[in-house]
């Protein structure tokens, strides 16, 4: 079975893409079959880091809906605006208008409209793309159309495409989105290991805990990379404390390094452009340790780093009084 490693953080901008691209490049050079998946459908960036110049495949997904009012039938009763769960309907310039970047195309307004004046139409949700990077491995990317509801479907689709082309020894590196919403949930679902990236700030620790909770809900063994550790050494201790409590494998730490933004400005991978920089050296060491412990010995590593306090997702449900208890 291919090995799926998901890189997540909760907080944006802490270095997920740097870690995932370095890991993919390193493992490829070590002879592994690699597939990179950019699961940040909101703002995919991996193709920029990996210098993709053109796409081999591009496929639109038109499975999103947006509702529209037929003004020849509308009587301005305003019931649609009342029932819309997202307040997507507003009264502007004398008529009710559905805002297409907020509307999720559910059937609610269409069902309540007394004149049957609302229909929904299919619109593009996003695009998935495949490129062969110049480093010899493929990259799958998903990009959500601006204004569409966030969804894990595009992420699930590109992960499935990657799995379909993977051999049993392939390593799939998934660069997930920031946050903990459906895209991240879909990125972590089905992964064999999570690499969590954090920087030593209170905000990053808070977001780390949230994304780790998702990992725990999936019983996903996790490793931790601390980026820019020298900007605040005392906070590093707080993060290490959390990692220890939760049985997270601390894989390595990367120092703050000017070469990182410089490489980003050049749109080239750091480890190719400045291989001797402190950050590149630290990243390569981290990649080496990931190969040694997670890729080569996944069973043992996973057993050692299973979440110590697994969490089961349970919805908080409030029963209506009419049905009794």
Partner 1 sequence: MPKIAIASENGGGLDDVVASRFARAPKFTIVELDEKGNIVNVRVIDNPGAQATGGAAIKAIQALINEGVDLVVGPAFGPNAQAVLTEMNIKSMTAAAGTKIRDIVEQAKKELGLG
Partner 2 sequence: MRVKLAVTGGKGGTGKSTVATNLAALLARERRLVLADLDVEAPNDHILLGVGLENEEPVKIMLPFIDYKKCTRCGVCAEVCDTGAIVLTRDKTPYVVPRLCSGCRACYFACPEKAIIEGQRVIGYTYHTNVRLKTSSFDLVTGVLREGEEHTPPVVLAARRRAMKLANDVLLVDTSAGTASHVAIALEGSKLAVAVTEPTPLGLHDLEMILKILSEQGIEAWVVVNRWGIGSSGRMMDRLAETARNYGAVIKARIPYSRDIVDSYVKGVPIVEMLPDHEVSKVFYSLAKEILETI
Sign of dihedral through CA atoms 159, 165, 167, 169? negative
- Angle between the N-to-C axes of helices 202-217 and 233-245, in degrees from 0 to 180, rounded to the nearest 10: 20
- Using only the alpha carbons of the chain, give its radius of gyration: 23
Q: For residue 167, give Cα distances in angstroms to 21, 24, 34, 164, 172.
A: 20, 16, 10, 8, 10
Q: CA 113 to CA 135: how far, in whole Å? A: 55
Parallel, antiparallel or unpaired: strands 118-123 and 95-98: unpaired
Residue 23-42 contact track with partner 2, rule CB under 8 A, x = bound: -------------------x
C-alpha–C-alpha distance, residues 29 and 42, integer Å? 29
Residues 6+ apart with CB under 8 A from 108: 83, 84, 85
> CA nearest 251: which of 179, 198, 205, 202?
198
Asked if residue 149 binds partner 2 (CB under 8 A), the reply is yes
Choose among partner 1, partner 2, none what residue 265 binds, the Cβ cut-off being 5 to 8 Å by kind.
partner 2
Identify the bridge partners of residue 90 per DSSP, sorted by sequence position.
97
Q: How far is the CB of 312 from partner 1 (least distance, A)?
A: 11
Determine, following the binding rule CB under 8 A, whether residue 218 of this chain makes contact with partner 1: yes
Stretch that binds partner 2, among 166-174, 258-266, 271-279, 286-294 (CB under 8 A): 258-266
Residue 156 sits in the site that holds partner 1 (CB under 8 A)? yes
Q: Considering the rule CB under 8 A, would residue 96 count as an interface residue with partner 2?
A: no
Q: Build a one-symbol-per-residue string for 49-78: x at contacts with partner 2 by CB under 8 A, - elsewhere.
A: ----------------x-------------
By CB under 8 A, tell whether 183 contacts partner 1. no
Residue 255: name its binding partner from partner 1, partner 2, none (Cβ under 5 to 8 Å by kind): none
235 binds, among partner 1, partner 2, none (CB under 5 to 8 A by kind): partner 2
Question: Stretches 9-17, 156-164, 251-259, 288-296: which one binds partner 1 (CB under 8 A)?
Answer: 156-164
Q: Which of partner 1, partner 2, none interacts with 278 (beta carbon under 5 to 8 A by kind)? A: none
Residue 106 contacts partner 2 per CB under 8 A: yes
In angstroms, the CA 106 to CA 120 distance is: 8
Burial of 12 (0-12, 13-18, 19+ CB in 10 A): middle
- What string marks each residue from 189 to 208 as x (binds partner 1 by CB under 8 A) or -? xx------------------
Please list, in sequence order, all residues whose beta carbon lies within 8 angstroms of the beta carbon of residue 229, skipping any fewer than 6 positions away. Answer: 199, 200, 236, 253, 254, 255, 256
The DSSP element (H or E) to which 246 belongs, if any, is none
Q: Per the structure block, which two tokens stand in for 146? A: 């601006």
Window 227-246: residues binding partner 2 (CB under 8 A) = 231-232, 235
Stretch that binds partner 2, among 19-27, 53-61, 256-264, 273-281 (CB under 8 A): 256-264
273 interacts with partner 2 by CB under 8 A: no
Q: Closer to partner 2 at the Cβ: 106 or 302?
A: 106
Sketch the per residue contact string, 46 through 65, with partner 1: x for CB under 8 A, - otherwise: ---------------xxx--
Q: Does 185 bind partner 1 (CB under 8 A)?
A: yes
By C-beta, is 83 or 250 nearer to partner 2? Answer: 83
Interface residues with partner 1 (CB under 8 A) are 1, 61-63, 122, 152-153, 156, 160, 163-164, 168, 185-186, 189-190, 218, 313
């Amino acid at each position: 079975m291919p090995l799926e490693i998901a890189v997540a953080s909760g907080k944006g901008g802490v270095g997920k893409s740097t870690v995932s691209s370095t890991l993919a490049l390193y493992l490829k050079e070590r002879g592994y079959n690699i597939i990179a998946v950019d699961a940040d459908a909101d703002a995919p960036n991996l193709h920029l880091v990996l210098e993709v110049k053109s796409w081999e495949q591009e496929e639109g997904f038109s499975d999103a809906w947006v509702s529209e009012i037929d003004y020849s039938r509308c009587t301005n009763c305003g019931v649609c605006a009342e029932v819309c769960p997202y307040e997507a309907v507003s009264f502007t310039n004398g008529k009710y208008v559905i805002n297409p970047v907020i509307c999720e195309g559910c059937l609610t307004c269409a069902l309540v409209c007394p004149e049957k004046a609302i229909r929904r139409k299919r619109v593009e949700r996003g695009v998935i793309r495949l490129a062969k990077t110049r480093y010899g491995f493929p990259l799958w990317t998903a990009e959500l159309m601006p204004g569409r509801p966030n969804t894990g479907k595009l992420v699930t689709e590109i992960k499935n495409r990657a799995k379909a082309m993977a051999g049993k020894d392939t390593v799939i590196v998934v660069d997930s989105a920031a946050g903990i919403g459906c895209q991240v949930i879909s990125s972590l679902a089905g992964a064999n290991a999570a690499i969590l990236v954090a920087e030593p700030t209170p905000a990053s620790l808070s977001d780390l805990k949230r994304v780790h909770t998702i990992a725990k809900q999936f019983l996903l063994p996790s490793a931790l990379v601390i980026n820019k550790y020298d900007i605040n050494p005392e906070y590093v201790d707080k993060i290490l404390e959390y990692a220890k409590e939760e049985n997270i494998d601390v894989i390595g730490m990367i120092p703050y390094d000017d070469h990182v933004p410089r490489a980003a400005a050049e749109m080239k991978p750091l480890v190719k452009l400045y291989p001797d920089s402190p950050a590149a050296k630290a990243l390569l060491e981290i990649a080496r340790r990931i190969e040694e412990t997670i890729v080569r010995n996944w069973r043992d590593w996973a057993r050692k780093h299973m979440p110590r306090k697994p969490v089961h997702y349970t919805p908080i449900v409030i029963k209506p009084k009419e049905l009794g208890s």
